[in-house]
């Protein structure tokens, strides 16, 4: 017997919403930020800022994006991969994502925000990630 309050379709929508907020890569960055002493100084997913940055260091006027290599078209092996089916569709979709990322970055810069973009493929080395975050936080 099923006692889920959601229908299967609703349930998967809920799970998607949860996942978009707390995917593995973002958790890694949150952990690294805590390790750099920023635990209480960042906020997640500020919807009032262009592009809804994954992390916002409000007092410092700095934002961090964590981008999936495939979805945001990173210049790496994973980012270069394209599904064989509907290749044109995916290429157009990823190009649109990249364009939107650029527009968000420009809008944030216009508001005086410094931006750090972290790619999924760069997160494996925890020490390197922490060092990068420290540099970003300390930069004026």
116 binding Zn ion? (CB under 5 A): no
Interacting span for Zn ion (CB under 5 A) from 10-18, 55-63, 106-114, 118-126: 118-126
Binding-site residue total for Zn ion (CB under 5 A)? 6
CA distance 96 to 65: 17
The answer to whether the CB of 101 falls within 8 A of the CB of 118 is no
118 binding Zn ion? (CB under 5 A): no
Planar angle of CA 85, 97, 101, nearest 5 degrees:
160
65 binding Zn ion? (CB under 5 A): no
In whole angstroms, the minimum distance from the beta carbon of 75 to Zn ion comes to 7
End-to-end Cα, the chain, rounded Å: 58
Beta strands of 3-102 (E only): which ranges?
A: 43-44, 55-57, 62-67
Q: Of 107, 104, 2, 7, which is closest to residue 54 (Cα–Cα)?
A: 104
Beta bridge pairs of residue 114? 62
119 binding Zn ion? (CB under 5 A): yes
In whole angstroms, the minimum distance from the beta carbon of 69 to Zn ion comes to 3
In whole angstroms, the minimum distance from the beta carbon of 67 to Zn ion comes to 8
CA distance 53 to 124: 21
38 binding Zn ion? (CB under 5 A): no
Binding track over 75-114 against Zn ion, x by CB under 5 A:
-x--x-----------------------------------
Binding residues vs Zn ion (CB under 5 A): 69, 74, 76, 79, 119, 121
């Amino acid at each position: 017997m099923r006692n889920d309050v959601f229908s299967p379709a609703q349930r998967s929508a809920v799970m998607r919403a949860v996942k978009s907020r707390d995917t593995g890569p973002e958790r890694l960055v949150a952990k690294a930020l805590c390790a750099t002493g920023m635990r209480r100084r960042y906020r997640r997913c500020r919807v009032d800022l262009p592009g809804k940055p994954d992390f916002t260091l409000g007092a410092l006027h700095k934002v961090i994006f964590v981008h999936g290599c495939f979805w945001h078209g990173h210049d790496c092996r994973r980012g270069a991969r394209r599904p064989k089916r509907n290749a044109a569709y995916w290429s157009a979709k990823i190009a649109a994502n990249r364009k939107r990322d650029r527009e968000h970055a420009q809008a944030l810069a216009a508001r005086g925000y410094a931006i750090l973009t972290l790619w999924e493929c760069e997160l494996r080395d925890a020490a390197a990630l922490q060092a990068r975050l420290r540099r970003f936080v300390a930069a004026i």
